[in-house]
Amino acid sequence: MKFTRDEGEDRQAILHIEVEEDRVEKHLQRAHQKVAARINIPGFRKGKAPRNIVEQFVGRDYLLEEAMETLVPEAVGVAVEESDIPSTHTPPRVEVTERDPIVKIDATVALPPVATLGDYKKLKFDDELEVVTDEQIEEQIAQIQESQATWDPVKRAAKLGDLLVITSKGLVEGKEFANVEGGEFLAEAGSMNPVPGFAEQLKGMKEGGSKEFDIEIPADYPNEEFAGKTANFNVEVAEVKKKELPKLTDALAASLGEDFKTVAELRTRISDNLEAQAKDGLRRSLEEKIVDALVEGAEFEVSPMMIEHEAEHVLEDQQRQLAQYNIDFQQYMQGIGKTTEDIVAEAKDSAELRLKRMLVIDTLAEDTGASVSDEEVAAEIALMQETPQYANENLDTDEARDAVQRILRRRTAIDSVIDVTHKPKAAKAKAKKSTTAKKKPAAKAKAKPAAKKKPASSAKAKSSSKDAKSKK
Amino acid sequence: MSLAKVLRRPIVTEKSTLLGAQGRYVFEVDSDASKHDIAKAVEWAFDVKVVKVNTLTVPGKVKRYGRRPSKQPDWKKAIVSLQAGDTIQLFEGA
């Protein structure tokens, strides 16, 4: 295989390839076998006609054409490999310039893009870690109480907020309307179900009581048949139930099934969780901002071919998502009023951005010399395996390890930038606590607290799986 | 018999291709041609030396056209063995 290399514009190289005869012959033979098996030549069974007969029958050009299909990708692949152009996963653009008797191919190959980072060390971000407040904790506890609430039957008159078991007959101009037979009804103030004002009418009723009343159905009622008319209701109350929030006791805390036994422990757990969430959120927003700033400040040389290739991926992703929701692509385009060209152009833009973001992070990793040890990769994989998402997947492959390593490397690189650029202006005392906690862990310890705190670890696993997906 | 009228067409099939590898070539020939005629005709047409000619009459198939069955004509097939080393380009491909 002989080839010469020309540097093209926009991070592309052109390889002029001359394929040696042996290789062409090999592919011609393969082509002959394929063609012979496909066509009927009188006097021969399928696939049994010798080369010269087939060649006479279909013509040498046809065979050559067939041979090109396998020959070109192979020849280009070999040439690219021999030329030491690092892979960019972008298929080269290929043109066959001559093919008989010598096959000559011009292949335009995308070179890995380069980014020149701006002076990112001068960036400054003063986002502060949100301090976990008592109100937040109380809110969470209230939610837990709410979720554990029970409904207890009471003899007293019904109040708003109670749960009533009712049998209700509604009539609108002789037509049945919103009939219920022994159904549970939550009498909430301002409830629109079945019509506004119904809940208020039930107020004061007792177990076993009944009542008849009229309600004006508002003019904007969804069912036009009844809108603006008067409904007559006849309601019997079978039961009145009061919402009973459980007392916040150690027993309640223990009943939640997690490994804590007292209210105090529950509180610290909630506080820890909230803090972990806040930290995670802060880190993510910082990462977002840093990458944005890096993209902003960097200069890029990216092959347009690469962008196009990535855009195809973007489009595929889109279509897969639509397919998941059972939406037809054509309909979708009509629905949002865009043409295919618009969508392709959009995909290109987002592909370019995606590439650039990846690129700056990788360049950054290069720049900061971020490195990840095999043990760290193994630890992360073990952690991922614990999440339900990956539980059944075999992550013990070179590919998975590679992907995880890349993710970790990026994370480490970003962390190092956060260290340099993140300077919260808030009270030093508070900041100190959080930064010392942050600095030391960087990447290593990062995985460990995550292992302890459930929400944080799942959030992390999610974000890393996202990374992994966009990688592909 | 006129030499030009002896050979009708070459037979190109899987079987005849295999024979070709042994220097034996298969033709459809005029039914009235003798082995001598065939040998002379092949030598004249392809400029080769014939050492042996085998012939057979292939019976025509009975085919039905419309209502009554009819018989296709019989024809004569000749397998011509050439002197070692001689070939006929017609079979070997252009």
B93 assigned to some structural domain: no
Q: What are phi and psi of A125, to 5 degrees?
A: -125, 130
Tokens 């340099």 locate to A420
Compare all CA atoms of chain B with the CA of A52 and give the residue at the minimum distance.
B93
**CB spacing of B14 vs A44 below 8 angstroms:** yes
Torsions phi, psi for A164 (to 5 deg) = -115, 140
Q: Residue B23 falls within a domain, yes or no? A: yes
- List own/partner pairs for A448-457 with CB under 8 A and 24 or more apart: A449/A276, A450/A276, A450/A383, A451/A383, A453/A272, A453/A273, A453/A276, A454/A273, A455/A273, A455/A276, A455/A277, A456/A273, A456/A276, A456/A277, A456/A279, A456/A280, A457/A383, A457/A386, A457/A387
Helix, strand or coil, per DSSP, at residue A175: strand
CATH of the domain at B72: 3.30.70.330
**Residue B40 structural domain:** 3-83
Q: Which residues of B touch A53 (CB under 8 A)?
A: 12, 17, 93
Tell me how close the Cα of A53 comes to any Cα of chain B, in angstroms.
7
Res B77: pLDDT: 96
Cα of B89 to nearest chain A Cα, Å: 11
Residue B38 scores a pLDDT above 50:
yes
Q: Is the pLDDT of residue A244 over 70?
A: yes
* pLDDT average, residue stretch A194-198: 76
Can you point out the beta strands (E) in A144-261? 150-153, 163-172, 175-176, 180-186, 210-216, 230-244
Asked if A43 and B12 come within 8 Å (Cβ–Cβ), the reply is yes
Beta-carbon separation of A50 and B11 below 8 A: no
Q: Mutate which of A28, A32, A45, A52 to test chain B, going by most B C-beta atoms within 10 A?
A: A52
Range A145-170 average pLDDT: 80
User: pLDDT higher for B4 or A101?
Assistant: B4
How close A50 comes to chain B (CA, Å)? 8
CA pair distance A52, B94, nearest whole angstrom: 8
- pLDDT per residue as tens digits for the range A361-412: 888 887 777 777 888 888 888 888 777 777 777 777 878 888 888 888 888 8
The reported pLDDT for the residue numbered A442 is 39
Q: What is the DSSP string of A270-321?
A: HHHHHHHHHHHHHHHHHHHHHHHHHHHH-EEE--HHHHHHHHHHHHHHHHHH
Q: What pLDDT, on the 0 to 100 scale, is given for residue B26?
A: 94
Mean pLDDT of A177-199: 75
For residues B9 and A409, what is the distance between their CA atoms, to the nearest angstrom? Answer: 75
Q: Cβ A44–B94 below 8 Å, yes or no?
A: no
Q: For residue B21, give Cα distances in angstroms to A86, B39, B77, B81.
A: 50, 19, 18, 11
Nearest CA in chain B to A56: B93
- CB contact (8 A) between residue B11 and residue A45: no
Whether the pLDDT of residue A448 is over 60: the answer is: no
| Shortest distance, CA B5 to any CA of chain A (angstroms) | 24
Predicted pLDDT of residue A433: 43
Query: Does the residue B40 lie in any domain?
Result: yes
- The beta-carbon neighbor of A56 closest among B13, B14, B93 is B93
**Probe site for chain B from A28, A53, A61, A63 (most B CB atoms < 10 A):** A53
Measure CB to CB from residue B13 to each of A43, A55, A56 and give the nearest one.
A43
A362 to A114, A367, A414, A464, A466: CA distances (angstroms): 10, 8, 10, 16, 17
Please say whether the beta carbons of A361 and A355 come within 8 A: no
Q: Measuring CA to CA, how many Å separate A263 from each of A70, A146, A206, A249? A: 70, 16, 37, 6
* Average model confidence (pLDDT) across chain A: 77
Q: What is the pLDDT of residue A34?
A: 92
Q: Is A40 on the interface with B (CB under 8 A)?
A: no
Task: Report residue A326 CA to chain centroid gap.
Answer: 18
Domain count, chain B: 1
B88 belongs to a structural domain? no
| Type and span of the H or E element at A463 | helix A454-471
Residue A55 pLDDT level (bands cut at 50, 70, 90) = confident
What distance in Å separates the CA atoms of residue A157 and residue A149, rounded to the nearest whole number?
A: 20
Confidence at residue A464, expressed as pLDDT on a 0 to 100 scale = 43
pLDDT, tens digit, 9 for 90 and up, residues A58-75: 888 899 988 898 888 888
pLDDT, tens digit (0-9, with 9 covering 90-100), for A104-123: 888 888 888 888 887 777 77
Q: List CB contacts (< 8 A) between B17 and chain A.
A: 50, 53
Instruction: Quick: pLDDT tens for A406-445.
Output: 888 888 888 888 877 777 765 444 444 444 444 434 333 3
Select from A431, A132, A458 the least CA-distant residue to A278: A132
Q: What is the mean pLDDT of chain B?
A: 90
The share of chain A scoring above pLDDT 90, in percent, equals 4
In angstroms, the CA A235 to CA A166 distance is 7
> Which tokens go with A350?
């987002």
B94 belongs to a structural domain: no
